[in-house]
């Protein structure tokens, strides 16, 4: 799959980049290029891995020239660079737009110019019916991807294939509720919930890598892929963590929703579900290939909404419920940053 390939990871110092490196560094991959603007994180990674297959390049996806320089000789791109903290983006909408929208287009333009084989862009469920800036810019990012994919379809000389994936909430990544709750439990403080009935889907960073690889190896240009992540409420999540860590203090403090937070997040829109194809643990949503001229009737490019039925047929998105054993396994296999092991923790398989 990646044999002899040169892979570019934009925003590669993050959770996705580290998980990808750990999985493939000892494989027969040719080279992994880490492209990011964080000098300190690159230095930490360089000293941690100390492997000649890794190349670290400082740059910013906002700068087309730096993107274009690093793209030479690249076979595959996983585009993870983004501004993704919901409250931060709400207070810096222009900065979020520069990175998430224009930065993504720079990556796509350069990849197409250099005839990169595959580009997989990382998006989020917050792009579906967005109410915050992060979700809005990611939604615009997706529209930009689709636009470039349509241009590729019209140009037979271009071999680049562009796809994108939507994450759910990734377990124990920087700033996640899991990390915050764990730290509070360890310090025997009340767990702070925005709202007990707020529902979220949770996946591990390894499942995120699986999703990106599945997208690369399946479907067609412009396709969206999602993973059927486990779903739970924040209150249930806190109670699972109380049990796993054998918490002494099991009190909960309700602090109210932050800027731009939804009570219920979707991973697919109604329009997506009209085109969605169930692929076991994954769902593929083919690109809507209709052009602007809606008067032209083309076979295979019809909108199901135009059907005479009152309710057009759409995929029923069934996702698993998060269970206690899932949390135990996630903690065992995906250790939480900044939280050391101690005798209070009852991880599955430990005493």
Nearest in space to 74 (alpha carbons), one of 21, 44, 33: 33
Q: Can you give the pLDDT at residue 293?
A: 78
**pTM for the full predicted model:** 0.88
Residue 47 has pLDDT above 50, yes or no: yes
CA quadruple 222, 225, 134, 46: dihedral positive or negative? negative
Cα–Cα distance, 308 to 86 (Å, whole number): 40
Region 25-39 average pLDDT: 97
**C-alpha angle with apex 12: 6 to 17, nearest 5 degrees?**
85
Region 270-289 average pLDDT: 95
pLDDT band at 112 (very low <50, low <70, confident <90, very high): very high
Is 153 in contact with 143 (CB distance < 8 Å)? Answer: no
Residue 148 lies in a domain: yes
Measured in degrees and rounded to the nearest 5, phi and psi for residue 276 equal: -65, 145
Region 23-35 average pLDDT: 97
> Model confidence over 225-260: pLDDT tens digits?
999 999 999 999 999 999 999 999 999 999 998 777
Buried b (16+ CB within 10 A) or exposed e, 108-134: bebbbebebebbbbbbbbbbbebebbb
Q: Can you give the pLDDT at residue 173?
A: 76
Residue 235 lies in a domain: no
- List the 199-203 sheet strands across, edge first: 169-170, 199-203, 230-233
> Model confidence over 188-231: pLDDT tens digits?
999 999 999 999 999 999 999 999 999 999 999 999 999 999 99
Q: Can you give the pLDDT at residue 307?
A: 57
Residue 285 lies in a domain: no
What residue has token string 């047929």?
Answer: 313
> Model confidence over 74-92: pLDDT tens digits?
999 999 999 998 889 999 9
Residue 36 has pLDDT above 90, yes or no: yes
Residue 284 lies in a domain: no
What residue has token string 């290939």?
Answer: 289
Q: 253 has which bridge partners? A: 192
H or E segment at 123? strand 118-124
What percentage of the chain carries pLDDT values higher than 70? 89
pLDDT band at 345 (very low <50, low <70, confident <90, very high): very low
H or E segment at 200? strand 199-203
What number of other Cβ atoms are within 10 A of residue 339's Cβ? Answer: 17
Residue 221 lies in a domain: yes
Q: 120 has which bridge partners? A: 78, 163
Measured in degrees and rounded to the nearest 5, phi and psi for residue 122 equal: -95, 120
Is 30 in contact with 5 (CB distance < 8 Å)? Answer: yes
Cα–Cα distance, 287 to 191 (Å, whole number): 42
Q: Give residue 58's domain range.
A: 6-169+203-229
Q: Can you give the pLDDT at residue 347?
A: 39
pLDDT band at 106 (very low <50, low <70, confident <90, very high): very high
CATH number of the CATH domain containing 86:
3.40.50.720
Dig out the tokens for 188 from the structure. 């025997």
- Chain-wide mean pLDDT for the chain? 89
Higher pLDDT, 338 or 219: 219
Of the residues 5, 84, 126, 228, only one is catalytic, namely 126
Residue 26 lies in a domain: yes
Cα–Cα distance, 221 to 118 (Å, whole number): 9
Residue 80 lies in a domain: yes
Nearest in space to 228 (alpha carbons), one of 276, 280, 176: 280
Region 329-345 average pLDDT: 55
- What is the number of domains present in the chain? 1
Is 211 in contact with 165 (CB distance < 8 Å)? Answer: yes
Residue 258 lies in a domain: no
What percentage of the chain carries pLDDT values higher than 90? 75
DSSP H helices, 59-156, are: 64-70, 86-90, 93-97, 103-113, 133-154
Q: 170 has which bridge partners? A: 203
126 is a catalytic site residue = yes
pLDDT band at 66 (very low <50, low <70, confident <90, very high): very high
Kindly report which listed range (122-136, 160-174, 201-215, 291-305) carries the lowest average pLDDT score: 291-305
H or E segment at 88? helix 86-90
């Amino acid at each position: 799959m990646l044999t002899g390939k040169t892979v570019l990871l934009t925003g590669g110092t993050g959770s996705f980049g580290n998980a990808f490196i750990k999985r493939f560094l000892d494989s027969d991959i040719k080279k992994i290029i880490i492209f990011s603007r964080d000098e300190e994180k690159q230095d930490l990674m360089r000293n941690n891995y100390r492997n000649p297959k890794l190349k670290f390049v400082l740059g910013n996806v906002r700068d087309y020239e730096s993107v274009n320089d690093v793209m030479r000789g690249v076979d595959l791109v996983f585009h993870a660079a983004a501004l993704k903290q919901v409250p931060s983006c709400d207070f810096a909408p222009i900065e979020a737009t520069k990175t998430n929208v224009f930065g993504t287009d720079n990556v796509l333009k350069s990849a197409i110019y250099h005839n990169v084989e595959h580009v997989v862009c990382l998006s989020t469920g917050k792009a579906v019916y967005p109410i915050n800036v992060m979700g809005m810019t990611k939604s615009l990012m997706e529209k930009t991807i689709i636009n470039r994919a349509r241009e590729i379809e019209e140009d037979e000389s271009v071999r680049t294939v562009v796809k994108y994936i939507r994450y759910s909430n990734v377990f124990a990544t920087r700033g996640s509720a899991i990390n915050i709750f764990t730290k509070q439990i360890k310090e025997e403080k009340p767990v702070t919930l925005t709202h007990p009935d707020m529902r979220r889907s949770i996946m591990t960073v390894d499942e995120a890598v699986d999703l990106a690889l599945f997208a690369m190896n399946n479907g067609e240009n412009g396709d969206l892929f999602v993973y059927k992540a486990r779903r739970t409420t924040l209150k249930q999540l806190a109670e699972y963590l109380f049990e796993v860590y054998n918490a002494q203090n099991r009190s909960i403090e309700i602090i109210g929703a932050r800027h731009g937070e939804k009570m219920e997040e979707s991973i697919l829109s109604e329009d997506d579900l009209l085109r969605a194809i169930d692929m076991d643990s994954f769902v593929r949503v083919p690109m809507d290939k209709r052009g602007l001229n809606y008067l032209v009737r083309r076979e295979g490019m019809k909108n199901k909404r135009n059907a005479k039925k009152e309710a057009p047929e759409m995929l029923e998105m069934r996702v698993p419920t998060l269970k206690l054993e899932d949390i135990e396994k996630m903690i065992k296999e995906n250790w939480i940053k900044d939280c050391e092991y101690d005798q209070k923790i009852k991880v599955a398989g430990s005493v």
